[in-house]
Amino acid sequence: MHLHSVASFRPLPVFFFVIAALSFSVRGSSDATLEDLWGSDWAFSGISTFNHLPYSRCLVNRSEIFDIAVVGVPFDSLTTYRSGAREGPKAIRWASGRHLSGRSFHPSLHFNPYESWASVLDCGDIPVVPIDPVLAMQQMGEALVELLSRPTSQKSRWSHPRLVLLGGDHSIVLPMLRALHKIRQEPVALLHFDAHIDTMDPDSYPRKAWKSQASEIHHGTVFWQAAQEGLLLPGHLVHAGVHGRVSSLQDFHSDNSLGFLRIPVEEMDDEGADAIIKKIHDTIGEDVPVYVSIDIDVLDPAFAPGTGAPETGGWTSREMMRIMTVLSKLDVVGLDIVEVTPAYDSAGGDTAFAAANIAYEAISMMVQKEMETSKFETQADYKYQKEEL
């Protein structure tokens, strides 16, 4: 073995160590602000808000201005099968953290809904009591009226903000419809995505001798109850993606009497997405205020297993995204995504991810509707991007 003498090794130049030391300097320029240095998050860091949006306890902070608010409603005391949807808002927010609000440029619409004319906030959760459904309904109703009463931003054409509710079981839609009626003083159209029709007459359910006024309201009777209270606009009501069982043919007769159009899930195969979109558009109309309610069980359990009443044979998540494009042509005054039940979800959170993306798509559609019909400062940029791409 040939050994080199010590004299054969030459010392490294001093500038090598200077350069090496500089390479470990990761601090930005000397004029960087604290916001520049520490003001951004990764998808996996930060407090869990929807898409990392700014957070405010809007119910106690009346100075907060917003056009669209994401609001959690962790209530599931009126479900008739598997409970656990009270954990839905937390799971949906967690899944939505996959994308930062600043990294939410829509690949098809060509704008970022969070960097548009609209002020979008995460307003946290309504603190709903879990052990008294009657009191919980009152709490939800008063909280939603409070939020709907807030002023919108100067750039908004809306008189009232839009709320995107994260449920919770489907019963949360009733206090929302009541709140909308109180604020708007008119019934609204309804676009309801669900495996089930949820217009069950309480007397058709096997309550038999054990009846009470409170038992008339649960997640399967909410739209029957809403119709009885005059909250819905007959002839402008749509169930889309229906494929769940009912008690008897009488349930469909009852549904017909309320003025609903049912679009069964198989119409996707028989007629296609465009035909369904046209049917929804023609039934509801562009100038009618419409509330959109999305039960995650409209999706096949292969795409959304984490729900309280799963039904096989539902739409795929891609089919749902396609149908949702109709929202950009409708006057959406509010929306909910309900029945996400994390305890039954896949290990990777497939249901929560689907729900989070549905919420993002809905927000994008509401923002786009106003960008195409109003003159905002950002509209020129929006048109330019559409033309360039």
Measured CA to CA, the distance from residue 164 to residue 93 in angstroms comes to 12
297 annotated binding-site participant: yes
Question: Computed over its alpha carbons, how large is the radius of gyration of the chain?
Answer: 25
CA dihedral of residues 35, 38, 41, 47 (deg, nearest 10): -90
295 annotated binding-site participant: yes
With beta carbons less than 8 A apart as the criterion, state whether 53 and 100 touch.
Answer: no
194 annotated binding-site participant: yes
Per residue, what are the HEC states of the chain? CCCCCHHHCCCCCHHHHHHHHHHCCCCCCCCCCHHHHHCCCCCCCCCCCHHHCCECCCCCCCCCCCCEEEEEECCCCCCCCCCCHHHHHHHHHHHHCCCCHHHCCCCCCCCCHHHCCCCEEEEEECCCCCCCHHHHHHHHHHHHHHHHCCCCCCCCCCCCCEEEEEECCHHHHHHHHHHHHHHHCCCEEEEEECCCCCCCCHHHCCCCCCCCCHHHCCCCCHHHHHHHCCCEEEEEEEEEEECCCCCCHHHHHHHHHCCEEEEECCHHHHCCHHHHHHHHHHHHCCCCEEEEEEEHHHECCCCCCCECCCCCCCECHHHHHHHHHHHHHCEEEEEEEECECHHHCCCCCHHHHHHHHHHHHHHHHHHHHHHHHCCCCCHHHHHHHHHHC
Measured CA to CA, the distance from residue 382 to residue 368 in angstroms comes to 9
CB atoms within 10 A of CB 105: 14
Residue 91 CB partners (closer than 8 Å, separation 6+): 306, 340, 342, 345, 349, 351, 352, 355
170 annotated binding-site participant: yes
160 annotated binding-site participant: no
36 annotated binding-site participant: no
Annotated binding residues for Mn(2+), written as ranges, equal 170, 194, 196, 198, 295, 297
Residue set of the binding site: 170, 194, 196, 198, 295, 297
